[in-house]
């Protein structure tokens, strides 16, 4: 699928065909997409464990639910449990991943890079202090992991799957998946074939563009050019806004089909 169409057709899907398995190669493609996300100092911030709904007990499934994660967990056959790896900077082994980037010609002397710069400046003066201060480390690691998750989400759409991020209880993840202490569970990415239409009632509301984006300084909105909006509509990135007139009927029909509350 064309990239902008992938962005435009992504929706958080909450109704899945519970009977239809997801091909293993599609799951792997999502993980591969996450693996290729850009990542500071090339450190392994994102980790994931794939869970198959039907290989868990009912008690395990229910223990993962939260107030915002309900029927979608029962409907989606595959869940990628994404983790933030608090050990990621330690895992760079005193900046060894930077040296690797130097070796492959990604970080170059033209930009000041050398082995000793990686060790004595970047590791000693930047990475180590970040690593030693949890108040700095935690937000860095979570933001980094989110980049990988976003790529995996978009890849799922490109693979023709429905997908969604949803909260799961960290305690239950730890108990079921038995991940290392340095891995913090953050979100479950659900995978499955959508039971709702791919448009899922239309593109979900966002606040006005100018409330989020500015030029040069806060308070000077980045002016949204309607011609750019039109061009992005033409290629399928910006789509009809929710709700479609028939959305309530669609949700009612799906809820009845799956014996969920209306
Ligand atoms: C990090 C993250 C966590 C989310 N957690 C939940 C959740 O627990 N339950 C849920 O129903 N949706 C969850 N969502 C989906 C959002 O509610 C959804 O993205 C939002 O409504 C916008 O819709 P869209 O994704 O279709 O554009 C989450 C989304 C993100 C990015």
- For ligand 1, atom 17, the nearest C-alpha belongs to 12
Looking at residue 45, what is its pLDDT? Answer: 97
Neighbours of 72 (CB within 10 A): 21
- The finding on whether 53 has its CB within 6 A of some atom of ligand 1 is no
Rounded to whole angstroms, the Cα distance separating 239 from 19 reads: 30
Ligand 1 centre from 212 Cα, in Å?
18
Provide the pLDDT for residue 94: 77
Mean pLDDT of 94-118: 95
pTM over 0.85, yes/no? yes
pLDDT at 1 over 80: yes
166 Cα: distance to centroid of ligand 1 (angstroms) = 6
Would you state the pLDDT for residue 21?
A: 98
Q: Are 90 and 9 in contact (CB under 8 A)?
A: no
What per-residue confidence (pLDDT) applies to 92?
Answer: 86
Ligand 1 atom index nearest CA of 10? 26
What domains does the chain contain, in order, with CATH numbers? 3-195 (3.40.109.10)
Determine the distance separating the centroid of ligand 1 and the alpha carbon of 202, expressed in angstroms.
15
Task: Please check the confidence at residue 238 and state whether its pLDDT lies above 80.
Answer: yes
Mutation pick for ligand 1 pocket among 143, 165, 200 (CB with most ligand atoms within 8 Å) = 165
Note the pLDDT tens digit of each residue in 87-104: 999 988 778 899 999 999
Q: Is any ligand 1 atom within 6 A of the Cβ of residue 232?
A: no
pLDDT, tens digit, 9 for 90 and up, residues 145-176:
999 999 999 999 999 999 999 999 999 999 99
pLDDT value at residue 93: 79
What distance lies between CA 252 and its chain's CA centroid? 29
């Amino acid at each position: 699928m064309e990239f902008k169409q992938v962005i435009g057709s992504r929706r958080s899907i909450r109704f899945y065909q519970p009977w239809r398995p997801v091909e293993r190669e599609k799951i792997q493609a999502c993980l591969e997409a996450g693996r290729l996300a850009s990542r500071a100092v090339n450190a392994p911030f994102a980790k994931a464990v794939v869970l198959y709904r039907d290989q868990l007990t009912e008690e395990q499934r229910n223990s993962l639910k939260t107030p915002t994660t309900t029927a979608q967990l029962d409907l989606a056959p595959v869940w990628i449990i994404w983790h933030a790896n608090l050990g990621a900077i330690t895992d760079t082994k005193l900046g060894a991943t930077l040296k690797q980037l130097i070796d492959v010609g990604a970080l170059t002397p033209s930009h000041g890079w050398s082995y000793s710069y990686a060790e004595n400046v970047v590791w000693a003066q930047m990475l180590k202090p970040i690593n030693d201060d949890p108040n700095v480390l935690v937000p860095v690691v979570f933001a980094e992991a989110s980049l990988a998750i976003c790529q995996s989400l978009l890849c799922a759409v490109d693979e023709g799957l429905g997908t969604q991020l949803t909260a799961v209880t960290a305690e239950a993840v730890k108990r079921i998946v038995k991940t290392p202490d340095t891995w913090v569970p953050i979100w479950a990415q659900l995978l499955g074939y959508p039971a709702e239409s791919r448009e899922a009632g239309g593109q979900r509301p966002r606040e006005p563009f100018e409330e989020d984006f500015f030029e040069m300084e806060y308070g000077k909105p980045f002016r949204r050019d309607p011609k750019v909006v039109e061009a992005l509509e033409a290629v399928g990135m910006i789509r009809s806004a929710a709700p479609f007139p028939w959305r309530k009927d669609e949700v009612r029909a799906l809820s009845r089909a799956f014996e969920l509350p209306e």
